[in-house]
Amino acid sequence: MERLILLVILNIGMIQSASGNENTSPYLDLTYSYNADTLSWPGFIGFNQTIMIRGSDNQFGVYMEANDFCVSEHAGTQIDAPAHFVQGRRRLGAVPLDNLIGPGVKVDIKAKADANSDALLSAEDLEAWEEANGPIPDGAIVLMYTGWGIKYPNKDTFWNIDVNGTLHFPGVGTDAAQWLVDNRKINAIGTDGASLDSGNSGGKFLSHRILLAKDIVSLEYVANLDKLPAKGFTVFAIPMKIEEGSGGPVRIFATGWNPDVPNPFSIAGCSHITPIFNVYLIAMAFATLLF
């Protein structure tokens, strides 16, 4: 599994370069770039990068670039490990790769969020999704689309803080979190907002605690959810492996998002790997064995 994951990641840049157009690439990036505009939870540090070397004036006498950076675990497109809110559960370095890949499910509550910034994903929303699309598959990565991503990285509109200091953005209701734990076997849940729990939830982080207690990791600040279909795609969420981390930066991408482009990788037995891509994977596998 780890070697196959590595091969897929190695091929992303090649395929995107060859296509020259995101709309014809089999990969959709669901990650915001880390830069000076990166948002972090209020009170946490953002992303700071220091250029150490950029040019030929260095001890090696050749052109070189090297930087230092510092960032909160909970800034930008990021993952919450179970230990983030549940004592004794896995920290980031111990989260298995199998839990970071799965069939994608997009649950759209944008209409609710447009009408009410404190809107919650409900158990009824999940049941309605299943009525229209079939059962949420085992190992799924469920992505809640609220439309909040259009506000990123504007701090004022994204955090939506009122005169009393209360944040207002959509989240996952505790009934939905409990429904998923009781009725389905998902790997992860994500949102285009800042947190699984709504901004006005009072700082108890109840939905986080329900889900993380069952080793269901959380993905936050997920980009480009508006481009995903309701189902039929595969999600990869590959974080920085911070051994003692409560979370960290994560590169999230999807395959199978565009019905006009063949899905080069599918969790369900890899049944959608195209013949050309299959030959390429075999060649890369031999190269990996040789080196």
* Cα separation, 248 vs 242, whole angstroms: 7
Q: What is the pLDDT of residue 127?
A: 98
Q: Return the pLDDT at 284.
A: 46
pLDDT in tens, 83-136: 999 999 999 999 999 999 999 999 999 999 999 999 999 999 999 999 999 999
| Three-state SS sequence of 126-140 | HHHHHHHHCCCCCCC
What is the rounded CA–CA span in Å between residue 111 and residue 146? 8
User: Is residue 74 annotated as a catalytic residue, yes or no?
Assistant: no
- Mean pLDDT per 10-residue interval, the chain, length 291 residues: 50 42 84 97 94 94 96 97 97 97 97 98 98 98 98 96 96 98 98 97 95 98 98 96 98 94 65 44 45 47
The CA-based dihedral angle spanning residues 246, 151, 109, 26, taken in that order and rounded to the nearest 10 degrees? -80
| Range list of H helices, 59-194 | 110-115, 123-133, 155-159, 174-183
Tell me the two tokens of residue 97.
Answer: 């790769």
Amino acid present at 39: L
CB 100 within 8 A of CB 187: yes
Catalytic pick among 74, 84, 208, 272: 84
Please report which helix (H) or strand (E) contains residue 240, including its range.
Answer: none
Distance of alpha carbon 192 from alpha carbon 218, whole angstroms: 11
**What sign does the dihedral 165-168-169-172 (CA atoms) show?**
positive
